Amino acid sequence: MMLQLKNVKDLWFLLGLKNQHYPLQVRGQQRIWQLPLAFWTCWMSRHSRVLCIGLANLIQPITHVALGKWKQLRTDIRNKAKYKRLLIRPSLTKEELEKDREERNKKWKMKEMNNITTRESNTYQILLFTESWLGHSINDPQLIQNLPYNIIRSDRQSKKGGGVCVFLAKNISFLKIDIPKNKNFDLCAFDIFDSKTISKHRFILVYRPPSLTNFDENLELHDQLSILCSANFSTTIIGDLNLPKINWDTKSSTNINQTEKCFLELSNQLKLTQMITFPTRENNVLDILLTCTPHIITNIQSLPPFSQNDHISDHLSFKFQLCFSQEQQTSLTKLDYKNANYDNINTYLSYIDWNNVFSYSTEIDAQYQSFINILKTAIHLYTPIKKSKSLISKLPK
């Protein structure tokens, strides 16, 4: 069978046949394409008035059909029992195509994340995702389902893609850090508490898109990371900075641009160590595991990308073990409000977009809880922790 087209000059529409494989011939060009995946494509000029299509032994040739009438005939062709195997994509605008592609990507992401969390729920206590591609149309219960996880996420607000997401086992004690939203990058952070010791560890999950080239916008991310790392306990930054030119081993500042120097200087100032020593995408180390306490990060191993069909990620994944100190708790801890940095607390609160915070819900209780969470975050960021004597020793024997 042969598909023949006349007056082919430009892209116009797409047709497909299920479970068939056809050669395609364009007259005048003397070329034949054998398309894979059991689809053939026919293209037509926007300016041509005549469309000639012939599928021998399948349908009668459609000749001299004006372009305007073709759009009206497609529905009739699709509905006729004789042509049930003929698939005709509806006409979509550029914006509709982008929206359709984004929705399909979200469905793939959600399905893949559900598969991963279901498969790994008995293996890992924490799962961290960058480029989660989640949005308001996908809520937390859809992601968690009946799995034993809590979820923290930060979805991209203005454009498709991006986003970060964390699944934490329900037996983990943690505090979510409220971070002001930014349209240029994605951040979420949380503190993990060890019930047996007085130790606490902060995790920061970050995604910086490669399209973020404006230095001032990169500086916003630099400053936000610097604030989050100013806590009085160990901190680890995980994610994808998309800065392949940085040599984390030598920490050399030669042959790198201003943005890369900025993040390298931040790493040096905070005395962070890059624990990822293997390429995570092709020959580049794009993903980071930066920590100020490398002795508690052990057993780092590279793993295949999450998706086996490459729809989701082209990065290697990795796993590691977090080892807290096993010292016995001999004293209680509490916030030292007397030595809190109230100037920094006020500065942090002044950068909060309160209109945006309160726009997510009209319920007064929900708005109050959002305010309390942000206030607690500011206090924990800039208030030191001090030890106090255990009250148990004062009890009568």
Query: What DSSP letter does each residue of 326-347 carry, written as one string?
Result: -PPP-EEEEE-GGG--HHHHHH
Residue 49 phi/psi, 5-degree rounding, is -95, -15
- pLDDT (tens, 9 = 90+) of the chain, 397 residues, equals 344 444 333 333 333 333 333 344 444 443 333 333 333 333 333 333 333 333 333 333 333 344 455 555 666 665 665 555 555 556 677 787 777 777 776 676 667 666 666 666 567 888 888 888 787 777 788 777 778 888 998 887 767 778 898 988 888 888 899 888 888 899 999 998 766 666 788 999 999 988 888 888 898 999 889 888 887 788 999 988 888 888 887 877 667 888 888 888 888 888 898 888 777 776 677 788 899 888 888 888 776 665 544 444 555 676 778 776 433 444 566 788 888 889 888 888 888 888 877 776 777 877 887 788 788 878 877 888 777 654 444 444 4
Residue 285 in domain: yes
CA 138 to CA 125: how far, in whole Å? 23
Render 245-269 in DSSP notation, one character per residue. Answer: T--TTT---TT--HHHHHHHHHHHH
Q: What angle do CA 138, 140, 144 make, to 5 degrees?
A: 115
Check whether residue 315 and residue 338 sit in a common domain. no
- Is 0.85 topped by the overall pTM? no
Beta bridge mates, 15: 88
Check whether residue 78 and residue 201 sit in a common domain. no
The conformation of residue 296, written as its DSSP 8-state character, comes to G
Check whether residue 140 and residue 215 sit in a common domain. yes
CA 131 to CA 281: how far, in whole Å? 14
Check whether residue 34 and residue 145 sit in a common domain. no
Residue 93 in domain: no
Residue type at 294 in one-letter notation: P
Check whether residue 136 and residue 168 sit in a common domain. yes
Residue 98 in domain: no
Residue 219 in domain: yes
CB 186 within 8 A of CB 139: no
Check whether residue 293 and residue 159 sit in a common domain. yes
CB atoms within 10 A of CB 193: 15
Residues belonging to the chain: 397
Residue 163 in domain: yes
What CATH number is attached to the domain comprising 212? 3.60.10.10
Residue 83 in domain: yes
- CA–chain centroid gap for 261, Å, is 25
Check whether residue 278 and residue 200 sit in a common domain. yes
Check whether residue 232 and residue 245 sit in a common domain. yes
Check whether residue 240 and residue 273 sit in a common domain. yes
Check whether residue 132 and residue 281 sit in a common domain. yes
Give the chain's domain count. Answer: 3
Q: Which of 28, 63, 88 is the last residue of a domain?
A: 88
Residue 385 in domain: yes
Instruction: Print the domain residue range for 394.
Output: 330-397
Check whether residue 360 and residue 383 sit in a common domain. yes
CB 82 within 8 A of CB 59: yes
At 191, is the secondary structure helix, strand, or coil? strand
Which contiguous run of DSSP H or E holds residue 368?
helix 364-382
* In the block, residue with structure tokens 């850090």: 177
Check whether residue 325 and residue 205 sit in a common domain. yes
